Amino acid sequence: MSEIAEFTRHLGHYLAAPDVALVERAFEFSESAHRGQFRKSGEPFITHPLAVASILSQWRLDAQGLAAALLHDVMEDTKVSKHEIEHSFGKPVADIVDGLSKLDQIEFTSREEAQAENFRKMLLAMAQDVRVILIKLADRLHNMRTLDAMALTHRRRIARETLDIYAPIANRLGLNALYLELQDLAFKHLNPMRFRIIANAIKAARGNRREVMNRLLDVIRDGFVRTGIPANVSGREKTIFSAYKKMREKRYTFAQVFDIYGVRVLVPDATACYAALGVLHSLYKPIPGKFKDYVAIPKANGYQSLHTTLFGPFGTPLEAQIRTHDMHRIAEAGVAAHWLYKSGGELDIAEAQRETHRWLQSLLEIQSESRDSKEFLENIKGDLFPEEIYVFTPKGKIMALPRGATAVDFAYGVHTDIGHHCVAARINYEQMPLRTELKSGDQVEVITAPTARPNPSWLSFVATGKARSRIRHFLKGLQQKESAALGERLLNQALLTLKVAPEAVTWDRWEALAREYAAKSHLEILADIGLGKRLSFVVAQALTRATGHADDASGAGATPASGAGKPSLTLRGVEGVAIQYAKCCRPIPGDKVVGQFRKGQGLLVHNRECLTLKKQRSDMDQLIDVEWAPDIEGVFDAGIRLLVADRRGLLAALAIAISDAQANIDNVSMERPDGGGALAMFFSVQVRDRQHLARVMRGLKRVPDVRRVQRART
C-alpha cells in the first residue's frame, strides 16, 4: 500500500528507526487480523486504523501510541486477545488497546447504559494514560469524516454523541483545531440543510470581505512597525458551527455575524502581549466590558490569550486575540503540544499527564461516588463545557468554575467537608444565599456550621459534577443509615409479634441470614427493610428458624400474616429521609394513618382515607399499620382553605391570627373563583397535631369577613 509507505516515511522525520519498525510491525499485525473485513464504504477495514494513526502522527505521538492506534480495533472486531498484544508489543500498548475496546461481552439493558459504561471505562483508562483519549479522539475524527456511508439514524446518533461528549473533551484538553472540526462535522450531519446554507453564505461573503480585511490587516501591521513590536498579524474567520451558534444565541442574522471581523496577533513574549494590546487600543477604540485576560488567569485547559473587541472601521466590531507563539501552539494542540513541539531527546509522556492530572483525578472521584454509569455521565457533562468564570478565595487564590456555578459549587471546590457543612456565603463581603450564582471577579467566603449537612434541593442548582456527586454520595449514605434504623424498629416489632425477643437473635443467625440473602452485613438487610425492599415479617421468620432457607429472599410479593400478625410501627415525628409524610393528604398527629412502602425510597405515611392511596389498591401488600407515639416531636405541614370577602389589610389580619396560635406559615396562595369580591385562599401552615390545627382554624374564624374555614387535605 502506498499509504503505509508514505506514513512510515513521515514517521522517519521524528521517530528513531527501532520505533518506526515497531509501528510497521503493528500495521502488519493489524492488517492480518482485519483481513477480509470491510468498512460500510466498501474500503478494506485496515484503512481506518491507518488513517487514525496518520492523524496522530501529525501530533507527533510516540511509537507505542501509534502502535496502539493501529491495533485499537483488533480486540473488539477480531479474535485477538489482550495477552497476544502484550506478548507481541508490550504491556503499555496492550493496556491502551484494552482501554479503547468496548465492553461487548456484557449485556446492557439499553444503548444509553452501554454508551455510559463504555465511556466510563475509557475515562478510567485515560486517567492512567492520556494517549487513550488522544487515540479515541483521532478515531472519532476519522469516523466523522467518513460518516456519509452510515445509515441516517446512525449518522444522527454518532453526530449527537460527538457534539455532546467528544468535542467538549477535545476542548477541555485544549485541542482547539480538533474541537472546531468535530463541531462542524457533527453540525453537518445533525442539520444538513442549515450547514449547507451557512457554508454557502460564508463562501459568498469571503470574497466581499477580503478587500476590507486586507486593508484592516495593513493598518494594524503598520501600527506595530511604527512602535517597533515584532508581531505576526493574521485574519480569523468563524467556523460554520460557531457562526450558527452565535446566530442562535444572540438572535443575529447571518449578516450581523459576518459584520464582525477577527484578527490574531502573535508576539514574542507575555510582556509584548500587553504592549500589543496598547497598540490596538490606540488604533481602534475598545468596546467597554469586552476585554478578557487569559494570560494572567489561564483557562483550565492551559489556554492563554488576551481577548479584546474594538470599534473597527465603519463602526464594525473587530475581535482581536493577542498571544505568544508558544501560547498559540498550546491553544491549537493542547496536551498534544507536549509531543508536537518537544525538541530532541525522549518524548515525555508524564509532562502531558501532569497537565490533565487534576481534571482526571476529579473525574475518578466523581466516578467512585456515582451509583451507575449513567449517573457518572450526567455528573461529568457539566465539567465538559468549561465556559469558565474566575472567582477569588479570601486569601486571593483564583478558582475556575463553570458558568452558572453557585456558592455551593465553590464550597465543594475548596473541600468536600466545607461543602457538607456550608450554610451561607459572603460574596464581595455581603452575606448571600448558597444558591447565588457567581460572576467572574467575585470574592467568596463560605460560612459553615458543624451541625449543617447537604440538602437534597442543592442538586437542582449546582453546576459542577464534583458538587453533584458529593451531595448524592452523602445523601445515599444518610438514607442507608436512617433506613437501617427504621428497618431495625420494624424488624423488632415483627419479632415481638412472633413472641421472640430481638436480643435473643444470635450473631451466628444474622451471619447465616446475610449469606442466604447475599448481603454484605446485617445492616444492609436492615436498610433493605427500611427501604421496602424486604418485608420485616419475612426476615423475622427467617431469623427465628434454626435451619433452612428464607421463604423469600427479596420480599417481593410476600405478605405477612393477616390481622394481629402485621407489625405496627410507632411514629416519633419528622424522621429524615427514611420516613416521609405524603403531600397528597398531609397527615398530622391525631389522624388515623397507614404506612406505604415505596421500593428503594422508604416509608410514606398517608391518612387512612387518602383518595390517592385508595386508587393504588394493587400495592396493598406494601401497606403496614402505623400509629403516632404519645410524645410526638416536630411540626407537620397542614393545609387550610378559606373563603373570605376581599378587603384591605385582610391578609395581614389572617397572618396575625395564625401567628397568635403559635403556627408558622409555609406558603399562601389565592384566587377569585367567580371574579367577584370573594377570595378563595389556601394556607400551608406548620402545626404540632390536630388540636393545634383546630386552634389555628378557630383563630381564623374570628377574623371579620372570613366566611368559611376548612382543612385542605390536598
List the CATH number of the domain containing 102.
Answer: 1.10.3210.10
Together in a domain, 161 and 240: no
Positions in the chain whose pLDDT score sits under 50: 104-108, 342-353, 546-567
CA distance 340 to 343: 9
CA distance 399 to 385: 16
Q: What is the amino acid identity at position 562?
A: S
Together in a domain, 148 and 65: yes
Number of domains in the chain: 5
With beta carbons less than 8 A apart as the criterion, state whether 602 and 660 touch.
Answer: no
Together in a domain, 17 and 137: yes
Backbone dihedral angles phi then psi of residue 439, each to the nearest 5 degrees: -125, 155
Together in a domain, 61 and 152: yes
Q: How far is CA 217 from CA 82, 264, 400, in A?
A: 55, 10, 34
Which segments of 325-432 does DSSP mark as H helices, in order? 325-333, 337-340, 349-369, 373-381, 407-414, 416-420
The answer to the question of residue 22 being in a domain is yes
CA distance 504 to 567: 18
Which segments of 12-110 does DSSP mark as H helices, in order? 17-33, 47-58, 63-71, 74-77, 82-89, 91-100
**CATH number of domain containing 398:** 3.10.20.30
Of how many residues is the chain composed? 714
Q: Which three cell numbers stand for residue 619?
A: 400495592
The answer to the question of residue 382 being in a domain is no
Q: Which among 578, 611, 633 is the end of a domain?
A: 633
- Residue 350's pLDDT is 44
- The predicted model scores a pTM of 0.57
**CATH number of domain containing 246:** 3.30.460.10
Together in a domain, 262 and 402: no
What does the CA dihedral 136, 142, 146, 150 come to, rounded to 10 degrees?
-10
With b meaning 16 or more CB within 10 Å and e meaning fewer, what string describes 486-521? bbbbbbbbbbebeebeeeebeeebbebbbeebebee
Together in a domain, 272 and 320: yes
Local structure of residue 406 (DSSP, 8 states): B
Q: Which among 430, 463, 496 is the end of a domain?
A: 463
Q: How far is CA 109 from CA 113, 116, 629, in A?
A: 7, 12, 45
- Residue 376's pLDDT is 63
Together in a domain, 215 and 317: yes
Q: Which residue has the cell 405478605?
A: 559
CA distance 624 to 525: 18
Q: Which three cell numbers stand for residue 251?
A: 438572535
With beta carbons less than 8 A apart as the criterion, state whether 430 and 477 touch.
Answer: no
- Residue 689's pLDDT is 92
CA distance 262 to 199: 18
Q: Which among 147, 164, 190 is the end of a domain?
A: 190
Q: Give SS3 for 295.
A: coil
Together in a domain, 434 and 521: no
Q: How far is CA 459 from CA 199, 406, 477, in A?
A: 41, 11, 16
The answer to the question of residue 381 being in a domain is no
With beta carbons less than 8 A apart as the criterion, state whether 161 and 112 touch.
Answer: no
Residues in CB range of 327: below 8 A, 6 or more apart: 295, 303, 304, 305
Q: Of the candidates 71, 61, 77, which has an alpha carbon nearest to the alpha carbon of residue 94? A: 71
- Residue 575's pLDDT is 60
Together in a domain, 25 and 146: yes
- Residue 357's pLDDT is 58
Backbone dihedral angles phi then psi of residue 550, each to the nearest 5 degrees: -65, 145
The answer to the question of residue 196 being in a domain is no
- Residue 374's pLDDT is 60
Together in a domain, 328 and 442: no
Q: Give SS3 for 463.
A: coil
With beta carbons less than 8 A apart as the criterion, state whether 657 and 699 touch.
Answer: yes
- Residue 323's pLDDT is 94
The answer to the question of residue 198 being in a domain is no
CA distance 84 to 80: 7
Q: What is the amino acid identity at position 154?
A: H
The answer to the question of residue 362 being in a domain is no
Query: Where in the sequence is the domain holding 305, given as residue range(s)?
Result: 203-340
CA distance 143 to 165: 15
Local structure of residue 165 (DSSP, 8 states): I
The answer to the question of residue 229 being in a domain is yes
Give the chain's radius of gyration (CA, Å). 33
Q: What is the amino acid identity at position 101?
A: S
Burial (0-12, 13-18, 19+ Cβ within 10 Å), 281 = middle
Q: How far is CA 149 from CA 104, 118, 153, 185, 595, in A?
A: 23, 24, 12, 14, 58
Q: How far is CA 328 from CA 303, 353, 400, in A?
A: 8, 20, 21
- Residue 340's pLDDT is 53
With beta carbons less than 8 A apart as the criterion, state whether 399 and 391 touch.
Answer: yes
- Residues carrying an active site annotation: 76-77
Q: What is the amino acid identity at position 160?
A: R
Together in a domain, 482 and 458: no
With beta carbons less than 8 A apart as the criterion, state whether 408 and 462 touch.
Answer: yes
Q: Which residue has the cell 401488600?
A: 621
Together in a domain, 221 and 86: no
**CA 362, 364, 368, 374 torsion-angle sign:** positive
Q: Of the candidates 581, 606, 609, 588, which has an alpha carbon nearest to the alpha carbon of residue 694? A: 588
The answer to the question of residue 366 being in a domain is no
CA distance 684 to 636: 10
- Residue 352's pLDDT is 41
**CATH number of domain containing 690:** 3.30.70.260
Q: How far is CA 54 from CA 16, 38, 201, 545, in A?
A: 17, 19, 32, 69
